[in-house]
Structure 1
Amino acid sequence: MSPERDHRPSPDALLAEARREGRGRLKIFLGAAPGVGKTFAMLETAHERRREGVDVVIGVVETHGRKETEALVAGFEILPPRMIAYRGRSFREMDLEALTARRPGLALVDELAHTNIPGARHLKRWQDVEDLLAAGIDVYSTLNIQHLDSINDVVEQISGVKVRETLPDSVLAGADEIEVIDLPPQDLIKRLEEGKVYLPEQARHAIHNFFSPGTLTALREMALRHAAERVDRQMVDYMRAHAIPGPWPARERVLVCIDERVEAERLVRFAKRSAERRGAAWGAVTVETPGSHALTEAERDRIDAALRLAVQLGGEPVTLQGDDVVETVLAYAREHNCTQIVVGRPRRARWPRRLGRSVTQALIDRAGEFTVILVGGAEEPRPAAAAARPAPAPAGRLWFGGVFALLTTLVATGFAWLIDLYLPIANISVAYLLAVMVVAMRWGRRAGILASACCFFAFNFFFTEPRYTFAISDAQNIMTVVFFLLAAVLVSNLAARLRAQVQATRESARRTANLYEFGRKVTAAATPDDVLWAVVHHVAATIHGRSLVLMPEGAGLRVAAGYPPEDRIDDKSAAAAAWAWAHGKPAGRGSATLPAADWLFLPMRTGRGPVGVLGVQMAEDADMPSPAQLRLIETLADQAAVAIERTTLVADVEAARVATERERLRAALLSSLSHDLRTPLVSIIGAAGTILSYDEALDAGNRRELAQTIQDEAERLNRFVQNLLDMTRLGSGALKPRVDWVDLADVVAAAVKRTARLARHHLVRVEIDPRMPLLCLDAVLMEQVFFNLLDNACKYAPPGTPIKLWAMPTPKHIVIEVADQGPGIPPEDRDKVFDMFYRVTQADSQTAGTGLGLAICRGIVEAHGGTIHAEPGLNEAGTSIIIHLPLPPELPTAPQGAD
């Protein structure tokens, strides 16, 4: 053993503790049989809790007329029951909605395994308790051991009584506390005789049946054993939660193999009990072989019922496909680390089709490292021999198959007649074998065997000596026709098996193609509405029924899409959809929750949580999809959830991008306002304050300098506000050029004049080609462009350096360039400088700017149909802003000046 051990709590234990947060606590008073005092003990404990200050409310308590129990009920607040009408009568049920709204600290709910009257929210009372626990309400309840689903068949075998009201073992396993109320069998029988359990007439009948000493002893043993097993699990959970070191055995996994036999459900219950005793995970597996198509509807229903029972008991149902049942089961067991395999005992009376005698024996022989548990016991009654056979095919199909076999035999006889003219008799059988194979592949095994018999007699009658009689004179011919019959039957079976394999392959391919087609549709859908329409249309086509998708809206759900188009559902279906959304479990028709609804609702979940609810409505004669259909629908629901989330994420990413861009613009605008608006205002206020405070002390020169400062800063502030207004007009589309024929030289001269004071430390050179034609421009806007470019050049070019503006026409456009000898613009920023509020960061530059000047220039130039971009200056020094404007529709000659 390693000297150091990991003393950290296990992740499973921490996860279990996290899941308990916010939930109510469930305490179950467990008894071996009615009358041991479970309700009495529950009420006594509740009185103690009430004396401690806990708010206790009775949801439902059944006293059964016992005076001692009725005396304990007094003093508690009793919630009025809900009256439900069913088949012309009124029944009292616990008012779950009122109890949840009341929100007591502790609710008393008797008889946990009780079945609710149709019309209640849930099918079972234990599901009502789950809702109370989810709402954070503690619950006390009572339960008899015979109501556990996994020991239902054992109780029936012991007592001879079939218990109808059962609940999943997971309910008892999930209880936070269990208190066993034990009473010796003789004491319980004495209470029964005294009339403290049932009425006298019922008591006498019960003593001779369910309440016999042997039955009560067996039930008592099961109750105590379940309690002991739970105590052991609690000890292990405690050790894991508190990181107490100890020997941890490898986790076991039980796999039960089920088939179409009537004892399949018994195998599932045995596997559940076996796994629970070992604290192991478990699952149920069935193998579909090429012969599965021959199963009757009753046999298919048994397999489906066993798989559903496995789901209810907490197992994992799996359907596999394969030719070899044993190899398929062993491969799955190895892949999933199973340690024990549970199978039924071999059958002797009938030829096994799936897990019969030969398959079971082969599994035992080839198990190797696995432990195989062979479940024996008395075999359950089987149907009569006639009923046990596969259901006959429709009469029409049998008739057509027989006619086709006869016609094919006639055709084969004609071909054989031609063959007989040129080839030996041995080759004639090939034509008949071909006919048998065609019939078997087209109409199945029965028609193939019929064709074998017809071909055998035709071959014997027409082609063996003496001909045209069924007698055979030559011993060699006897062997020929006998081997022909064997070969024909063999070919018939092989062809029928091949046909079954082809059908199974087609079904598997159909399911795969269904998922592929669905994935292709939802992947191609770009918008949420397209995805929802693809989902409902594909699901409806898959189940040959109706489908709809409900999405959250406000505090409820709305029908987002339906096929056939549907925008409303009834109240029962709406309640089922809301429950499926809230709890993340199926609800509605065919499920255990709100089964009176017309729709079955499946939650659509992803890693981020639920995104909606998928509703399906089967055909009129189908109540619940088969396990295979349900798994396919659940897979479609998961893919639909991912597709819906994908479109949601795209919208979220776009919204995040817009929000980020908005935040960047806001930050840039605030930065500009804080500097470019505040700085000139400070200068103006300072200069004006100096004039006011020292007016008499200032000479004319100082006063003129301060006034000039006020003017310069006011003009600077005006340019900033004008840029903001221009940018706003550009963004809203309100800035429309008012073009007219103008001389570019006049526009440039006006811009240079406006920048005279800004460019006083620079030499501005203007060179315009004399061939420049008149242009269709908005003179005011283009003047603003040149002003912004010259202003930008004056800010960054060193004092004393020249700034050059030149323009010339080309055959394709007008080229205008403004060049300076400043630090230049890095290559990665040359496109970005024309974005709003973007400024090049330079470590040695203290020049302020808003990042709007060049953005306004681009907007105005593009409004004139031109382009603008930045390039490095001459010899890679400075920056050149180059503008391309379109040529005017006509090129009038510029007027020449007169001498």
Structure 2
Amino acid sequence: MPMKQENRTDPDTILQKIARSEMGKLTVFLGASAGVGKTYTMLETAHERLQAGIDVVIGWVETHGRKETEGLVSGLPVILPKCITYRGKVIQEMDIDAILARRPELVLVDELAHTNIQGSRHVRRFQDVEELLKAGINVYTTLNIQHIESLNDVVAQITGVIVRETVPDYVVEQADNVQLIDISPQDLIKRLQEGKVYVAGQAEQALRNFFRQGNINALREMALRFMAKRVDSDLSEYMREHKIDGPWPASGKVMVCVSASPFSAQLIRAACRLAAGLQAEWLAVHIETNTKFSLREKERLRDRVARNMRLAEELGAKTISIAGRDLLHELLAVARNNNVTAIVVGKPQQSRLRDMVHESIVNKLIRHSGGINVYVIQAQKEQPSHSTYINTEAAPVQGNWQYYLLSFCMIIGISGFGWFFKDLIEIINIALLYQLPVTLSAFWWGRWPSYFTAVSSMVLFDFLFVPPVFAFTVYDLRYIWSFITFLIVAFIIGGRTEFLREEADLARQRERSIRSLYSFSKEIAAVVDLATITRSLAIQAADTLGRRVMVLLPDEHNQLMVCAEHEPGAAMKQYTIHPVADSTEAAVAAWVYAHCEAAGRSAATLPSADYLYLPLVTREHIVGVLGIKIIEKLITPEQRRLMEAWAGLAAIAIERVQLTEKAREAELLLESDKLKSTLFNSVSHELRTPLASIIGSALTLRDAAQHCSPEEKNELWDNIIDGAKRMTRIVANLLDTARLEGGTLRLKNDWCDLQDIIGVALRQVEDQIKERAIQFNISAEVPIVRGDGKLLEQVMVNLLDNAFKYSPANSPVEITVVTGKNQVQVSVADRGIGIPAADLTQIFDKFYRAKQIEGNSNGIGLGLSICRTIIEAHNGKIWAENRPDGGTMIHFFIPVPEQDKRLMDQEGSIFNGN
């Protein structure tokens, strides 16, 4: 019976069509480059729709000053653009809200790839178009081929120009209609020379750079190929919708069937030659079916298929790999879905007799192919190529005589047991007992010891228990069939038991490998130290692979250095970064790093090395090399994949650390730039006033001293002194900040009297006190504390200076000292305007000033920051709060440990003569 093609429509396709039927229709006028007439054609078509009674409006059209285009715009309704202010300039953008409110049947939106100005609803214009389509409005738009995202790299390679504004492929692919606007390169160049595309100066520059004839031809070919691909897709969709089996020979398409057979490579090359002769696309298809092979054999077959599919990709095929039960059904389904016109298969090698019993897949394919041509290729025998991989398991167990001896011992034990109980056990039960050593031998040592055990068991059973006893003669022929059945069962049990044992070993090996990979990824998830990651990688990879591993990373001169290495089973040790000792190995590693390809032992490139070097490659670039010591010449595919898995995981981990470092450096650089900018602005502002005062007073004293009274002269000198002191304080704060940031500040712990410190600080700011009242609330007994007296004086000076700045001139300033159990608290309070609640926790940051007082007083925002650093260096704490009746209180405390109290009491007793 011929197979019937199922033409049922995919439910997801039906749902997509229903959703799209409720949306507007998108028509794209596609061109190879600017100047081919996309906008002009779109406007002409819009005029035709307007004459047909369609409600057409212009949402956005760029005329670029072309008179012909402007003439077509004048006859169509226009929705005025909206104006957006950006960086002091007023820029016009399409008003999508006005279009949605107007709700025309058709809207014209030029330049689909445009990036909207900041402040627009969407970042890109194609997103505006998507919103219009969802609202049910039909859209006409224009697009150049170089603005399609998937072609961006190709365009940059051809023209040397990187296109920044691109449109995702799905936008064009889901368009209801794509119309190609095409003119010859000569006509386009002529239009450029006549000034119909750009103005004179721009046209000349464009002709020299982007609009060279070679570039135009390449872009034109890309546009034509894109349209051909779309037409082919539309044809396939039409055939599916109308349940047409096909294929239609509108364009040839060749499909080759790929398997793990060694002849597949010949079929792939034959299909490539056939497709080239037909000038057609071609596919390489692999159907993975459920096969009853061991895991090891499946690994080998999968590796062969992967090599064959890579060969097809290198020759230009589109590869498809799917899973299915019915090979013939899946092949024909793929062929019909892709409109294939020719299938390339290999000629079967089975005999004619077997073909009569079980029809080959080729014969079935020919009978059910319908209108598809089937090319049957006679494959030639190939010399077995040296695979990159071989099994590196231990020597086969059949060569180990100990296993055979132990198997024979088990047979002797069973025989003795059966002989001793032969009067109690029937002979059939004794025969079943001999299956036990067969099964155990297969489970422990493999199939060949199991086969030896089976034959030995049959011989001893015949010699000891089958009449005549102690002879190999068999009188009853029924025992012959029993012997044959016994051997068959024994051979099956032995083979299947070894098969299960191998699968169990492979499963345990894979579980161990996966557990190691998971453990490593979990361990380094939160680690950002490169040395820790490389050391952990070397240790875990070496222990998992059972081989010596070293991690090589480039230094600042881009030279590979060994950052970590480990021998499996060796003790952990400290690593020192050093170059590769062997110059040959270093050269191989450098080649891998330069070419981003594996090389070394067991690889096709530079196989004379002792290590296999794998590049640590991420999506962006190569970050290093992983070296693995290989003793044998070749390794298995599974081992290679495991090594590549370690290399991939290591590359991700190392790149994450490098990106973290770059992000930290960028953040520090940003903070540094911000600090410099703030510092320059603040210093220039703060130094201007005292400098102006000093210069003005000095000039007055120089030029008009004879006209000044003594009082005026003293006032001028006071202004100079006050200005100098203010500058001194500003410079002192800057120097203290530099010392604190640089870590050069060291406390000089000594006994300090806080009352003396407060007195010295008041004398330093006495020029600011003037008519102010200083109120003291100091406990009767203030303990002497340990600290740096000079730095604590600086804290009091900064707090008093802050209180004088931000409070009225005639208001009092209160100084309070309270003694606690293990601390002394000092407070400075004023009657100023207070600090906003949101700023209370930030006023101790560098260069921070509260918003509501920012313009009311001078200061660069360093005084309180210095106070916090000094107090915290004394293990204390500083904070600010607003007073209920107005003003601000800044508190700080310094701890007084019990041992300091005892020392203070002892020194006080000595001082008092007690």
Q: TM (normalized to structure 1)?
A: 0.61
Per-residue CA deviations over 1:138-173 (Å, capped at 9, x if unaligned) read xxxxxxxxxxxxxxxxxxxxxxxxxxxxxxxxxxxx
Aligned residue among 142, 157, 160 for 1:19: 157
CA distance in 2, matches of 1:302, 1:743: 86
How far has the Cα of 1:734 moved from its partner?
5.1
Relative distance call for 1:267 and 1:635 in structure 2 (3 A) is farther
AA aligned opposite 1:612: G
Relative distance call for 1:466 and 1:417 in structure 2 (3 A) is same
Q: Is the 8 A contact 1:291 1:497 kept in 2?
A: no
How far has the Cα of 1:679 moved from its partner?
1.3
SS at match of 2:768: coil
How far has the Cα of 1:756 moved from its partner?
3.7
Q: Is the 8 A contact 1:345 1:357 kept in 2?
A: no
Q: Does 1:792 align with 2:802?
A: yes
CA distance in 2, matches of 1:316, 1:599: 35
What residue number does 1:714 align with?
A: 724
AA aligned opposite 2:622: P
Relative distance call for 1:351 and 1:628 in structure 2 (3 A) is farther
What residue number does 1:266 align with?
A: 266
What residue number does 2:189 align with?
A: none
AA aligned opposite 1:811: K
Share of identical aligned residues, percent? 30
SS at match of 1:817: strand
How far has the Cα of 1:677 moved from its partner?
1.4
- Matched ranges for 1:72-471 at <5 A: 237=222, 239-240=224-225, 246-248=231-233, 256-259=257-260, 263-270=263-270, 272-273=272-273, 278-280=280-282, 282=284, 291=293, 313=315, 344-348=346-350, 375-377=376-378, 380=381, 397=399, 399-416=401-418, 427-459=429-461
Q: Does 1:857 align with 2:858?
A: no
CA distance in 2, matches of 1:350, 1:432: 43
CA distance in 2, matches of 1:853, 1:348: 94
CA distance in 1, matches of 2:555, 2:302: 41
Relative distance call for 1:393 and 1:369 in structure 2 (3 A) is farther
What residue number does 1:128 align with?
A: none
Aligned residue among 654, 658, 670 for 2:664: 654
- Matched ranges for 1:711-750 at <5 A: 711-732=721-742, 735-738=745-748, 741-750=751-760
CA distance in 1, matches of 2:781, 2:653: 63
Relative distance call for 1:852 and 1:328 in structure 2 (3 A) is farther
- Matched ranges for 1:659-698 at <5 A: 659-695=669-705, 698=708
SS at match of 1:846: coil
CA distance in 1, matches of 2:535, 2:372: 50
Q: Is the 8 A contact 1:545 1:618 kept in 2?
A: yes
Relative distance call for 1:446 and 1:344 in structure 2 (3 A) is farther
Q: Is the 8 A contact 1:545 1:617 kept in 2?
A: yes
AA aligned opposite 1:660: L
What residue number does 1:495 align with?
A: 497
SS at match of 1:246: helix
Per-residue CA deviations over 1:50-104 (Å, capped at 9, x if unaligned) read xxxxxxxxxxxxxxxxxxxxxxxxxxxxxxxxxxxxxxxxxxxxxxxxxxxxxxx
Aligned residue among 804, 815, 823 for 2:825: 815
CA distance in 1, matches of 2:353, 2:432: 32
CA distance in 2, matches of 1:370, 1:513: 52
Structure 2: 5+ residue stretches without partners:
1-16, 18-24, 31-142, 162-213, 237-251, 385-390, 567-576
Deviates more, 1:402-411 or 1:467-476: 467-476
Q: Is the 8 A contact 1:345 1:374 kept in 2?
A: no
Relative distance call for 1:711 and 1:809 in structure 2 (3 A) is same
CA distance in 2, matches of 1:482, 1:579: 61
How far has the Cα of 1:437 moved from its partner?
1.8
Q: Does 1:528 align with 2:538?
A: no
What residue number does 1:866 align with?
A: 876
SS at match of 2:231: coil
* CA RMSD, 1 decimal: 5.6
Per-residue CA deviations over 1:426-446 (Å, capped at 9, x if unaligned) read 554553333322122223334
Relative distance call for 1:621 and 1:793 in structure 2 (3 A) is same
AA aligned opposite 2:442: A
AA aligned opposite 1:19: Q
The number of aligned residues is 674
Q: Does 1:604 align with 2:616?
A: yes
What residue number does 1:4 align with?
A: 27
Q: Is the 8 A contact 1:398 1:447 kept in 2?
A: no
Relative distance call for 1:241 and 1:15 in structure 2 (3 A) is farther
Aligned residue among 651, 656, 668 for 1:641: 651
AA aligned opposite 2:619: G
AA aligned opposite 1:266: Q
Relative distance call for 1:504 and 1:557 in structure 2 (3 A) is same
Relative distance call for 1:263 and 1:626 in structure 2 (3 A) is same
How far has the Cα of 1:681 moved from its partner?
0.7
Relative distance call for 1:359 and 1:573 in structure 2 (3 A) is farther
Structure 1: 5+ residue stretches without partners:
24-175, 178-230, 384-389
SS at match of 2:893: strand
How far has the Cα of 1:731 moved from its partner?
4.3
CA distance in 1, matches of 2:708, 2:519: 88
Per-residue CA deviations over 1:772-810 (Å, capped at 9, x if unaligned) read 234445444433322211111121234444322111222
How far has the Cα of 1:606 moved from its partner?
1.8
Q: Is the 8 A contact 2:530 2:654 kept in 1?
A: yes
Relative distance call for 1:433 and 1:271 in structure 2 (3 A) is farther
What residue number does 1:94 align with?
A: none
- Matched ranges for 1:828-867 at <5 A: 829-842=839-852, 845-867=855-877
CA distance in 1, matches of 2:831, 2:366: 93
Q: Is the 8 A contact 2:283 2:320 kept in 1?
A: no
CA distance in 1, matches of 2:771, 2:870: 28
How far has the Cα of 1:674 moved from its partner?
0.8
Q: Is the 8 A contact 2:397 2:448 kept in 1?
A: no
Relative distance call for 1:619 and 1:12 in structure 2 (3 A) is same
CA distance in 1, matches of 2:647, 2:464: 63
Q: TM (normalized to structure 2)?
A: 0.60
CA distance in 2, matches of 1:304, 1:638: 19
